[in-house]
Amino acid sequence: MKNIAVIGAGMVGSTIAKDLNDEYKVTAIDVDKDKLLQLKELHKLNIIVEDISKLKSLKKILSGFDIIVSAVPGFMGFITLKKIIEAGKDVADISFFKEDPFELNSLAKKNNVTAVVDCGVAPGLSNIILGHHNSKMNIDSFECFVGGLPFKRTLPFQYKAPFSPIDVIEEYTRPARIVENRKIIIKSALSDPELINIDSVGTLEAFNTDGLRTLLLTMKIPNMKEKTLRYPGHIKNIQFLIDSGFLSDEEIEFEGKKIKPIVISSKILLPQWKLEPGEAEFTSLVIKIKGKEKKKIVEYNYGLFDKYDEEKNITSMSRTTGYTCSSIARRILNKDFSIKGISAPEHIGADEKCYSKIMKELNDRNIILKKQRL
C-alpha cells in the first residue's frame, strides 16, 4: 500500500487525510498533538508530532513516503515546498503562498519531483476547468467568482473563516493582478466591487483579489479576473481596518517591543471569525469562459453551491478544497500526471484522462458543478 504524508492537520489538511486514508496508508504531521491524537482515534491515521517550521530539512521525516500533501499556512508554504522538493518527494500543495512557485521549477526537475501547487477550489478547481477548455478552444475571457460564507450573518463582518484568519487578511491586503487586453494590470484588493446574485443565498458583493496566480504565467488569455464573494457591506468594514493601519505588516514599537499590527489583528479577529462546531456554511463558485470553439462564439458557465456536510461534520470549504487536492494527489500517485517540475492545476485540466477522473471523484463526493453552454 502506498504511503502518504499530509503536513498540516487543520480543517482542510484533516479532510484530505481522511479522504486519502480510505485507499492509502496516511500519516498526518502537525505541531498540535491533541489535534493529531483526535485524528488517530477517529480515523486510524498514523501521526507524527513535529514543528516542521523549525526543521532545516524534512528529508529524514519524509523518507518513507510516496507522496506529500502540504497543507501548511501560507506564510510557511514556499519554504516547506522547497524542503519537500529537496527531499526528492512528489507533492500536491494547497498552502497558497505569495511567492512565485516557478522559482522552484529547476530544483524540482533536478530532483525528479512532480509538484503541483494551488490544489484548492479557486485557485485549483477553477484552474482545472479553465485548462480543460483552453485545450479545446480559443478563450477570450475568463471570470471566476468564489467565496466561503456562513449562512448566519453576524455583524459587523458577516463572515467566518474556514482557515487561518491571517491567510484571509492576506487576500485583502495583497495587490490584485488581473489581465485586460493581454496586459497584467495591478489593482488594489477590494477594488471594482460588483453585485452578483447566487441562488439559495441572494445577492453577494464581489471584489478583486489576487487569485489568478499561476494563470498569469501559464495562460495567454486576453482577459482574466478572479473576485472574492462576501455579503454586502463586508468591503466597507475591511477597508476601515486597512485605512486605520490595523492590517499593516510594518513593525511598530509598543512598550519597547516591535510588533506587526496584522499579527495582533488576526489574534483579535480569530474568535470572531471562527466557525462554531456544526455551524452551517457554504462555498459558492461561479466560472464564466467565453471564446471560439470550432469557429463558433460560445460561453461556458459553471456554478457550484456546496454546503456543510452535517453527517460527516466537514465544512464546505474543507470539502471543495480538500477533495480537489486529494484527487490531484491521486493523479500524481497513480502516474496519471507525472510531469517533472512545478505544475499548476490548469496543466492537469488540459489532460483529458486526469480531468475526467477528477470530475468523477468530486461528483462521487457530492461536489456538483452545474454546467451551461450558451
Instruction: Provide the CATH number for the domain around residue 274.
Output: 3.30.360.10
Are 176 and 229 members of one domain?
A: yes
Burial of residue 95 (CB within 10 Å: 0-12, 13-18, 19+) is buried
pLDDT for the residue numbered 277:
86
pLDDT for the residue numbered 28:
96
Range list of β-strands (E), the chain: 3-7, 25-30, 46-49, 67-70, 90-93, 114-116, 138-150, 176-180, 183-187, 194-198, 202-208, 223-230, 252-254, 257-259, 281-293, 296-307, 341-343, 369-373
Are 33 and 130 members of one domain?
A: no
Nearest alpha carbon to residue 306 among 201, 193, 196:
201
pLDDT for the residue numbered 263:
87
Domain boundary among 282, 307, 332: 307
Classify each residue of 260-295 as buried b or exposed e, where b means 16 or more C-beta atoms within 10 Å of its C-beta.
ebbeebbeebeeebebeeeeebbbbbbbbbbbebee
Burial of residue 369 (CB within 10 Å: 0-12, 13-18, 19+) is middle
Are 69 and 188 members of one domain?
A: no
Question: How far apart are alpha carbons 23 and 185 in whole angstroms?
Answer: 44
Residue 214, in any domain of the structure: yes
Count how many domains the chain has: 2
Are 297 and 345 members of one domain?
A: no
Grid cell locating 79: 519554504
Residue 187, in any domain of the structure: yes
Are 251 and 186 members of one domain?
A: yes
- Look up residue 250 and give its amino acid: E
- Look up residue 36 and give its amino acid: L
pLDDT for the residue numbered 163:
67
Residue 312, in any domain of the structure: no
Are 236 and 178 members of one domain?
A: yes
Question: How far apart are alpha carbons 48 and 39 in whole angstroms?
Answer: 11
Grid cell locating 296: 463558433
Per-residue pLDDT for the chain (374 aa), expressed as one digit of tens each? 899 999 999 889 999 999 999 899 999 999 999 999 998 988 889 999 999 988 888 999 999 999 999 999 888 999 999 999 999 999 999 998 989 999 999 999 999 999 999 999 999 999 999 999 999 999 999 999 999 999 999 999 999 876 667 778 888 999 999 999 999 999 999 999 999 999 889 999 999 999 999 999 999 999 999 999 999 999 999 999 999 999 998 999 888 889 999 988 988 888 889 888 889 999 999 999 999 999 999 999 999 999 999 999 999 999 999 999 999 999 999 999 999 999 999 999 999 999 999 999 999 999 999 999 99
Question: How far apart are alpha carbons 134 and 349 in whole angstroms?
Answer: 9
Output the DSSP codes for 117-161. Answer: ---BBTTBHHHHHHHHHHTTSEEEEEEEEEEEEESS--TTT---B
pLDDT for the residue numbered 165:
73
Domain boundary among 286, 307, 328: 307
Question: How far apart are alpha carbons 228 and 79 in whole angstroms?
Answer: 27
Residue 374, in any domain of the structure: no
Are 179 and 103 members of one domain?
A: no
Question: How far apart are alpha carbons 45 and 137 in whole angstroms?
Answer: 44
Alpha helices in 44-90 (DSSP H): 59-62, 74-86
Are 187 and 206 members of one domain?
A: yes
Q: How many residues does the chain have?
A: 374
Are 129 and 116 members of one domain?
A: no
Are 166 and 190 members of one domain?
A: yes
Nearest alpha carbon to residue 220 among 278, 142, 105, 276:
142
Question: How far apart are alpha carbons 92 and 81 in whole angstroms?
Answer: 9
Q: Domain residues for 236?
A: 125-307
Are 283 and 135 members of one domain?
A: yes
